[in-house]
């Protein structure tokens, strides 16, 4: 096992965004003032910070009060760290934090212009949630899912205003990766699409509109990045460290495929791969690799467990 220090990395260097075109038109609709976020996990909290720094009032909802408290602590640390690095001044940090309002009642999202759902990747749970969100919000509110691989069309089918339902697929880490996929269904209206482009522009993101399909664009590319590396490893052509080193030195990637898998968590990636495989009707390109399965079965999840393709020295609190 290789030893690797615990530090955050990006999948791709920032210039990756140049391969995508922002497809918004010149018409600009009113800016978003009130954002609702359902789910205070890593992604939900990251989106909340991003929006608060853009001057948007955010209602951050989670059914679990402990999860909410932990999210607020992480947000405070993140903002303080940005001040220490000189990326923000203290007034900007304090102002952003004051715009994030933790709530445990779904009804508190009723005045939101936009709602972004970022809960567990379970279609039944998401459909039930969207049904409740539709009933408790304005008819003009856009309902967006941060799903990585589930069908947005299926999620929208739980509502009676599918024209207002989209996928907004933010990538981890939210604050660093510029690309956000807008996943449109056959029912998504052009006005909704334009509002999404304008909202993401407001957040300083580069948006790309994609059609609802298994894995969208990014996850299919990332799967290939990981999948072919696993295939090479499984055939004993090269080891993980060699493959990562070549991909960074010659391929121009900021992080190698095995470092990337350790960053994201091998268990989470295995679940995502299984879902992509099922959603694509068993397309062999997306079949989970035996190496992935064995490592997850052995409890080797990557950074979160201290061992994956590499071993990690945990940071002292």
Is the model's pLDDT at 153 over the cut of 50?
A: yes
Q: How many CA atoms lie within 13 A of 263 on its CB side?
A: 18
Other CB atoms within a 10 A radius of the CB of residue 292 amount to 20
Q: The pTM is what?
A: 0.81
Beta strands 179-184 and 165-170: pairing type? antiparallel
- Give the DSSP H/E element, type plus range, for residue 44: helix 42-53
* Chain centroid offset of residue 219 CA: 11
Is the model's pLDDT at 212 over the cut of 80?
A: yes
Q: What is the pLDDT of residue 268?
A: 86
Q: What is the pLDDT of residue 264?
A: 85
Q: What is the pLDDT of residue 73?
A: 97
Q: How far apart are CA 68 and CA 62, in angstroms?
A: 6
> Among 313, 301, 239, 317, which Cα is nearest to 265's?
301
Span 261-309, pLDDT tens digits? 999 899 989 988 998 888 888 999 899 999 999 999 999 999 989 999 9
Is the model's pLDDT at 22 over the cut of 60?
A: no
Domains of the chain: residue spans and CATH: 2-12+217-312 (1.10.1040.50), 31-211 (3.40.50.720)
Is the model's pLDDT at 17 over the cut of 80?
A: no
Is the model's pLDDT at 181 over the cut of 50?
A: yes
| Percent of the chain topping pLDDT 90 | 74
Span 70-98, pLDDT tens digits? 999 999 999 999 999 999 999 999 999 99
Other CB atoms within a 10 A radius of the CB of residue 238 amount to 14
Mean pLDDT across the chain, nearest whole number?
89
- Strand locations in the chain (E): 2-5, 34-38, 57-61, 100-103, 114-117, 142-145, 165-170, 179-184, 206-211, 310-313
Contacts of 119 (CB under 8 A, 6+ apart): 38, 39, 41, 125, 126, 129
Q: Which residues are catalytic?
A: 148, 169, 181, 219
Q: What is the pLDDT of residue 20?
A: 37
How distant, in Å, are the alpha carbons of 11, 71, 77, 85, 97 from that of 74?
22, 5, 5, 16, 11
Q: Confidence class of residue 29 from pLDDT cuts 50, 70 and 90?
A: low
Q: What is the pLDDT of residue 314?
A: 62
DSSP string, 72-91: HHHHHHHHHHHHHTTSS-HH
**Residue 315 three-state SS:** coil
- Which single residue is written with the structure tokens 């039944």? 124
Least confident of 34-48, 106-120, 251-265, 269-283: 269-283
Q: Confidence class of residue 28 from pLDDT cuts 50, 70 and 90?
A: low
Span 217-253, pLDDT tens digits? 998 998 999 999 999 999 999 999 999 999 999 989 9
Contact (CB, 8 A) for 187 and 162: yes
Q: How far apart are CA 15 and CA 177, in angstroms?
A: 10
Q: What is the mean pLDDT of residues 52-78?
A: 97
Is the model's pLDDT at 15 over the cut of 80?
A: no
Q: How far apart are CA 188 and CA 185, in angstroms?
A: 5
């Amino acid at each position: 096992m290789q030893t690797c220090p615990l530090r955050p990395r990006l999948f791709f260097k920032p210039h990756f965004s140049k391969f995508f075109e922002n497809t918004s038109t010149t018409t600009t609709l009113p800016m978003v003032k009130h954002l609702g976020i359902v789910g205070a996990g890593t992604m939900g909290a990251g989106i909340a910070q991003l929006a608060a720094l853009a001057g948007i009032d955010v209602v951050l909802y989670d059914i679990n009060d402990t999860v909410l408290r932990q999210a607020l602590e992480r947000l405070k640390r993140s903002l303080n760290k940005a001040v220490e690095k000189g990326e923000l001044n203290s007034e900007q940090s304090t102002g952003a934090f004051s715009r994030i309002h933790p709530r445990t009642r779904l009804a508190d999202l009723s005045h939101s212009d936009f709602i972004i759902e970022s809960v567990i990747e379970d279609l039944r749970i998401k459909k039930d949630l969207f049904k409740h969100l539709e009933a408790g919000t304005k008819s003009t509110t856009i309902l967006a899912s941060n799903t990585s691989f589930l069908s947005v069309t299926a999620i929208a089918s739980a509502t009676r205003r599918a024209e207002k339902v989209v996928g907004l697929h933010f990538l981890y880490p939210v604050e660093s990766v510029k690309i956000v996929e807008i996943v449109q269904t056959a029912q998504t209206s052009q006005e909704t699409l334009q509002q999404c482009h304008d909202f993401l522009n407001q957040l300083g993101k580069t948006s790309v509109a994609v059609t609802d399909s298994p894995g969208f664009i990014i996850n299919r590319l990332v799967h290939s990045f990981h999948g072919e590396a696993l295939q090479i490893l499984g055939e004993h052509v090269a080891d993980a460290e060699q493959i990562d080193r070549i991909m960074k030195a010659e391929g121009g990637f900021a992080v190698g495929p095995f470092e990337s898998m350790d960053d994201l968590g091998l268990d989470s990636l295995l679940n995502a791969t299984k879902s992509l495989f099922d959603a694509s009707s068993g397309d062999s390109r997306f079949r989970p690799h035996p190496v992935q399965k064995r490592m997850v079965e052995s409890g080797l999840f990557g950074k979160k467990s201290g061992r994956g393709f590499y071993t990690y020295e945990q940071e002292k609190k």
